Amino acid sequence: MTSPLANLADQTADLLATITGLASIEQLREAEPSITGKRSILSALQKSFGVLAPEDRREAGAQLQEARRVVEAALDARRRELSHLARAQSLREDGLDLGDVVVGDVRWPASVGHPSLVAITQRELEDVFVAMGFTVSEGPEVESDWYNFEALNIPPAHPARGLWDTFYVDLGEPETVVLRTHTSPTQIHLMEEGVANDSLPIHSVMPGRCYRRDTPDSRHLATFHQIEGLVVDRGITFADLAGVIETFTRAYFGPDIESRLRPGYFPFTEPSAEFEVTCTICRGEGCRTCSHTGWIELGGCGVLDPAVLAAVGIDGEEWSGFAFGFGIDRCAQMRHEIADMRALIENDTRFLEQFS
């Protein structure tokens, strides 16, 4: 008696030829049951095993299994090929030569745009300082620990590094690359350039994006924006710093808002100060926002520490200066009484559309 599998090789070849001949996904879907399904020759052969002696069944089963594997693989490959072709075809049909777009004919849906609150605030702050004679400078967001800390008089392992919850970047030796925790490293870049190009004095403000590894809440974001100011000139004193802060406060918040300084600590300035402004909610009367003090802490400032000048090679006998810094988002929050800072990063147009 002939084995039911005597013609298996030819049958398999026929099936493969059929598969190659399938021209579309639809054809393939239609043909599939007759190639590998219940109505296929492979299934029929399987059923015919009843006539075989039990000891031959295993061998036959293996042969049929192998044939099925080859056929199924070919079918899958063809399926991929066809769907690829189909996608290519539909992409081709969907294709548009954008060089041929007649701009005057484009139907342009109408919509009203809105600038980002942070951008608006940053621009307003920049404008106040530009009017006072400052330039605007920028620096990178990924910095080395040297620029972010050490040049600012915060050596490795210094407890003051704990003041900044730092995101470390997986480059170089551990903890050598950081997402800048403040815009202060830009001060270092500026001063280095000033020395290298012999272009002192410096009067500049530095806005930019900063990062701190701090779980966001209604008053803090892990990504935020800061603006910092740096003056390096001859004969600059703490009085000049206090004067600049005062003028800025009135220019930005309004004539009835005052500023005051109180001692603080920053490794890169000495003397250092925190600066506070009249609470913009209660105008100094005392309310919950200002813990009934009438004042709101806005930022930090101080006279440049001699160690910082030394780190960038500026002669502290000839030059002196001051620096200050505060949050751009925080100013926006105060001005617009935004209950939760997180609204700034949610990109909900219902929020964004309020600003113009």
**Tokens 């990062």 map to which residue?**
211
Pair of tokens at residue 296: 């709101």
Tell me the closest approach of the beta carbon of residue 202 to another protein, in angstroms: 9
**Single-letter residue type at 311:** A
> Residue 297 belongs to what H/E stretch?
strand 295-304
Strands (E), 305-353: 320-327
Q: In the complex with another protein, which residue's Cβ is closer, 123 or 335?
A: 123
Report in angstroms how near the CB of residue 5 gets to another protein at its nearest: 44
* 122 sits in which H/E element: helix 117-131
- The minimum distance between CB 13 and another protein, in angstroms, equals 37
274: nearest Cα among 253, 302, 238 = 302
Q: What is the 3-state secondary structure (H, E, C) of 247-260?
A: HHHHHHHCCCCCEE
Least distance (Å) from another protein to the CB of residue 60? Answer: 44
CB of residue 317 to another protein, shortest distance in Å: 8
> How many CB atoms sit inside 10 A of residue 341's CB?
19
Beta bridge partners of 207: 227
Closer residue to another protein (CB): 49 or 114:
114
223-233 and 320-327 beta bridge pairing = antiparallel
Of 2 and 111, which CB lies nearer to another protein in the complex structure? 111
* Residue among 4 and 321 whose Cβ is closer to another protein: 321
Cα diameter, the chain? 113
Q: How far is the CB of 334 from another protein (least distance, A)?
A: 18
* Nearer to another protein (CB atom), residue 16 or residue 128: 128
Residue number, 49 or 265, with CB nearest to another protein: 265
